[in-house]
Structure 1
């Protein structure tokens, strides 16, 4: 579907600032608005996302359209979810001006991504976004839960958040986001991004997180039960699992029984366990 004739004119720093001025827009910290002003960066994001010409992409927080334009080139369809009414109204106009031949591939949904529960067809196969730092983890996990058609995710987030999402068991930064994202996908840090590609420039660097969806661990426990076990283990991450899971299991003795039945040493801490081990523990609770 995509060829060189479909190439869009991408947003440069002067264009981004001009659009913002026309809209009398001042980027807000409340909505984490840092707009990408470097065309090379958005090209890289689309390339690393591996979006194909038959795919439907959901983009969260498209802003002024820096990433939307190359996504429209690469994909069959893009649904852009934008909370800011001015930006949601402007985005189709920007696409119509800079890439009119791609305009019919775009659908804009003006809504808070955290409250979005369904999308009209075509259902998304990929999530690609420059996410606000303050809601990145809950937004990603909620979309993974709500949209089972997703096959891949590529999001730009604060570097520290990116490293936490991609952390492996045993790492000091391995925690709840690491384990829960691993329930859905193979997760890795795909690249690092400097501050100068944004306007306004944030005070921290960013990272690109790649997720390739796969089947969750084999377990008879519900996802909610596994996640409750994970939450309990990391709520007191300095405690042994026997102690940390006591409330969740009903007692320290019951926690130890479940841990041993799952083949897990009760003296370990949660940061040592894989998502498969948490699933095995949760399975014991329903027996």
Structure 2
């Protein structure tokens, strides 16, 4: 199967009148070797149905089809969504029946056509990569393996451990859903247009939620409050959530967490224990 190179990428862009925009985070991979490296790093199973967000002109889509997978591609740009099936029909006609294209915003989709995706491999738009990732993890529990390309700094934040300077809200929220680790680094030169930032791949393997009896919304409310002002001790940072610093102190002690600690020292299980002390109404 012929994958897309730099010349064909530009030809396709001209055909649809595309001028890549920062608003939609449009940077297209044009190196076939990188595409194959990404797919190998995803460690997909033969029967995986792969969700791809932001397929763009089809570089990664063709690679996933080449590897034998069914692909559901979600594309926000209507012109690109309309062109993708034609590109696959031209370059990989034998695989055209394994592609489904959904025209829409991945931040807002709530359902996908069957068969439901079991894996996700995507070059996510950098400006919305974390919200998109968390939305899809929450919305599609069938997703068990994920490999996404994001801005390198974001990849390090997602994979950061407690105590790290990069550890924060994305780290904890991703850890609620999955085990997260850094994968490959990617040269900015394999994109058109060349982005101003470095890129990296981050791998997520879904695991059971830390606790089934504590709503994720409560845990995430505690996480957001704890990191709203990183310099504050937890008793002060969580004061508004619990109604007062004293109420927060009582709740933290009941959760087995030091009230003078700061959010960046806690793991996801600690945040779950704190959320268990909060009833969602602003009181412990």
| TM-score, length of structure 2 as denominator length | 0.96
Counterparts of 1:49 and 1:250, CA distance in 2 = 45
Counterparts of 2:159 and 2:172, CA distance in 1 = 9
TM alignment of 1:198-237, pairs within 5 A: 198-218=191-211, 220-237=213-230
**Contact 1:51–1:75 at 8 Å: present in 2 too?**
no
* Residue segments in structure 1 that go unaligned for 5+ positions in a row: 1-7
Task: Note if 1:132 corresponds to 2:125.
Answer: yes
Number of aligned positions between the proteins: 280
Q: Report the CA distance between 1:75 and its aligned residue.
A: 4.7
* Residue segments in structure 2 that go unaligned for 5+ positions in a row: none
Q: Report the CA distance between 1:219 and its aligned residue.
A: 5.2
Stretches of 4+ moved more than 4 A in 1?
Answer: none
Name the counterpart of 1:88: 81
Name the counterpart of 2:159: 166
Name the counterpart of 1:58: 51
Name the counterpart of 2:98: 105
2:240 to 242, 247, 250: 247
Counterparts of 2:194 and 2:4, CA distance in 1 = 16
Tell me, what secondary structure is at the counterpart of 2:179? strand
Q: 1:225 to 1:75 in 2, by over 3 A?
A: farther
Tell me, what secondary structure is at the counterpart of 1:266? coil
Q: 1:219 to 1:89 in 2, by over 3 A?
A: closer
**Contact 1:60–1:113 at 8 Å: present in 2 too?**
yes
Write out per-residue CA displacement over residues 236-280 of structure 1, whole angstroms, 9 at most, x where no aligned residue.
Answer: 111000000011112111111111111111111000000010001
Counterparts of 2:132 and 2:17, CA distance in 1 = 28
Q: Report the CA distance between 1:18 and its aligned residue.
A: 1.3
Name the counterpart of 1:270: 263
Q: What RMSD in Å do the two structures reach over aligned CA positions?
A: 1.1
Larger mean Cα displacement after TM superposition, 92-101 or 218-227? 218-227
Write out per-residue CA displacement over residues 65-87 of structure 1, whole angstroms, 9 at most, x where no aligned residue.
Answer: 00001111335411100011111
Q: Report the CA distance between 1:149 and its aligned residue.
A: 0.5
Tell me, what secondary structure is at the counterpart of 1:67? helix
| TM-score, length of structure 1 as denominator length | 0.95
Write out per-residue CA displacement over residues 153-203 of structure 1, whole angstroms, 9 at most, x where no aligned residue.
Answer: 100011111111111111111110000000000001111111100000001
Name the counterpart of 1:38: 31
Name the counterpart of 2:253: 260
Name the counterpart of 2:172: 179
Tell me, what secondary structure is at the counterpart of 2:271? helix
Name the counterpart of 1:144: 137
**Contact 1:219–1:279 at 8 Å: present in 2 too?**
no
Counterparts of 2:49 and 2:200, CA distance in 1 = 23
Name the counterpart of 2:190: 197
Tell me, what secondary structure is at the counterpart of 2:131? helix
Counterparts of 1:240 and 1:56, CA distance in 2 = 45
**Contact 1:56–1:75 at 8 Å: present in 2 too?**
no
